[in-house]
Chain A
């Protein structure tokens, strides 16, 4: 019954907000061929006009800006222009993204990115015209979908890395003590030269000087005291709430 409920819910509610993703081989996108043909026609046009314009004064080759395709992806579909509200479906959930292959996720990321660019252009234009943006929730939905996609991909990467190497983190690091005596997780950076040749790195002190050593113990004591105080405060609160709101066993 739970499965039926969830499937009914997903079938009813699961309307997503990007183009249909089908598993297909990577083919040449259509826009490239269109641009190619248009470019050729422009070149032909250029050769017709060139003898007229190519005089001693105008030696610069005539440039007719012909490659104007591709910018329509920065704008919504023409039937949505001027609308106050645009209908949009639900964002992708992590559960739905986890059943998709890496190739599908890769394609989906770029579809979502293009949609986000379109919405950001729309937002900026609306600000420029001092008008409300139509359906700003679309931007939030796209951002959430992209965040969840990123989460799914990092999950897969983490699991593969754990399996193959046993490393928990993708980026190396270690616990170090800084000049103020505080221990922190230092994340490594990539350098072209080793550390003993890096004069700027050698100037950084990852140890506490001797005059700072007594303060580490004091700050530790302060931290422990505040932790114990917080726990005691919580316990006191719970006791007081239990006294004010007694647990009713026999409810009418």
Chain B
């Protein structure tokens, strides 16, 4: 049967996680922006969008991949993936499938004229085989080492995971440790030896703490 009393931590974590209604329509804007609030005002009822259910591990287009567009305005062009929306099976490429709009208008000033990319459906893009730079179909297969990789069906070439710059601008190869950072060697050094002692007992041993007091008898109910 269900538990009635919830733990305080569970309650707090629930409150901290953002909760969306079941008929929330996900757009290209982040949920905390004003544009997203305009898209989902409270009390609105829009026709539901049906999205092909793809499991998280079967998703083959990743951010930073080079893909080719199969249909639409920029059919046949290849571009790099900038954003992936799994909830709506959308993919946004850099600089392709663009429409033009004004941004930052105020008063009489009409704003800057910029090109903004429109999202493409997953079925309208395919990954590109690195050998001949042609669009190809993808399958998930296992290598001899047991690693799960994307393999092109036509040539059998493994398509490596794309290297995409992190959002915070850090390049792992060029990282220099700060004064408060632990070096990789110290982090990976193994110091754990399994023993039949709890953390408290081990620490008390190391710090030479003698606990001679006996706990008073208490009742648990």
Residue numbers of A with Cβ under 8 A of B are 1-2, 5, 9-23, 25-26, 77, 87-89, 92, 96, 98-106, 115, 137, 153, 156-157, 160, 163-164, 172, 178, 182-185, 188-195, 201, 223, 238, 240-241, 244-245, 251-252
Contacts and interface: CB of A to CB of B under 8 A. Distances in A.
Contact of B218 (A160, A190, A238): A190
B183 interface: yes
Nearest to B190: A99
B202 A2 contact: no
A108 to B, nearest CB: 9
A244 to B, nearest CB: 6
B106 interface: no
B221 A195 contact: yes
B192 A164 contact: no
B178 A88 contact: yes
Interface in B83-112: none
Given A15-B181, A189-B220, 7 more contacts: A1-B145, A18-B181, A103-B206, A157-B198, A185-B3, A185-B5, A192-B216
Interface residues of B, number: 47
Contacts of A191: 218-221
Contact of B192 (A14, A101, A193, A240): A101
B15 interface: no
Interface in B171-221: 172-173, 175, 177-184, 186-193, 196-199, 202-203, 206-207, 216, 218-221
B151 to A, nearest CB: 14
A106 B203 contact: yes
Contacts of B180: 17-19, 77, 88, 115
A223 B4 CA distance: 14
Of A102, A105, A189, the most chain B CB neighbours within 10 A belong to A102
Given A19-B180, A185-B3, A245-B52, A26 B207 contact: yes
29 contacts: A5-B147, A13-B175, A15-B175, A15-B178, A15-B182, A17-B182, A18-B181, A19-B180, A20-B186, A22-B186, A88-B178, A89-B178, A96-B187, A99-B189, A102-B192, A103-B202, A103-B203, A137-B168, A163-B196, A172-B220, A182-B2, A184-B3, A184-B5, A191-B220, A194-B219, A194-B221, A195-B219, A240-B50, A244-B50
